[in-house]
Amino acid sequence: IQLLIKLGKNPILLPFKPNGKAQHIKGFLKQFTSTAQNTAAFLSQVADLNIAMVGVDPALVLCYRDEYNEILGDKRGDFDVLTVHEWLLPRLAEFNASEALDTEAWYLFAHCTEKTKLPNAEKEWGMIFTHFGAKLHTVPVGCCGMAGTFGHELDKLEMSKDIYGLSWQPSLEKLPKERCLITGYSCRSQ
């Protein structure tokens, strides 16, 4: 929100509406269908106002496209929710390009769902950072170990930590934490 305000935009934070992703992951499809119908109806109403909708968590945004379409079909409604980079990239010309003021690099740890379903995401983030005069290095990591709800479950804690230790932990330990950017909520929880 602060970034958008700095860029001269007037962001509106919508009221919380459950996405249902966890219901879908756990197989509670009847409950997920109800949640998806309710949220899709709300998002369709917002879309009728011609307001761009941007979600900050890639897995949740992609759920609106994939899982909602899968379960609701043509009853999903006509709305689009963009990831942050999908919204920013085509609008870069609206914002003044910057010379590099900060020579220290930023390090991007992208959500694994984002990397698989939006394979150009890391490159597009790099273009955005370059436009604003910042250096971005993408860090080649696999799954953080959270894997949806998996890593949030107590009985999966040790395995989740083991997966985290394969690529995320050693990469994060080598880099300045204050310069590491992580796109997924669960990844940040790890």
Where residue 73 falls (left for φ over 0; alpha for ψ -120 to 50; beta otherwise) is left
β-bridge pairing 106-109 and 180-182: parallel
State the chain's mean pLDDT as an integer.
Answer: 91
Distance CA 47, CA 7 (A): 22
Least confident window among 23-32, 39-48, 118-127, 180-189: 180-189
pTM: 0.88
User: Do the beta carbons of residue 89 and residue 128 sit within 8 Å?
Assistant: yes
| Three-state SS annotation for the chain | CHHHHHCCCCCCCCCCCCCCHHHHHCCCHHHHHHHHHHHHHHHHHHHCCCCCEEECCHHHHHHHHCHHHHHHHHHCCCCCEEEHHHHHHHHHHHCCCCCCCCCCCEEEECCHHHHHHCCCHHHHHHHHHHHCCCCEEECCCCCCCCCCCHHHCHHHHHHHHHHHHHCHHHHHHHCCHHHEEECCHHHHHC
Number of H helices, E strands in the chain: 11, 5
pLDDT confidence of 188, banded at 50, 70, 90?
confident
pLDDT greater than 90 at residue 61: yes
Any idea where the domains of the chain sit in the sequence?
A: 2-87, 98-189
Least confident window among 45-54, 58-67, 110-119, 120-129: 110-119
* Residue that is written with structure tokens 């970034």 in the block: 3
Mean pLDDT of 135-157: 82
CB-CB neighbours of 30 under 10 Å:
9
pLDDT greater than 90 at residue 91: yes
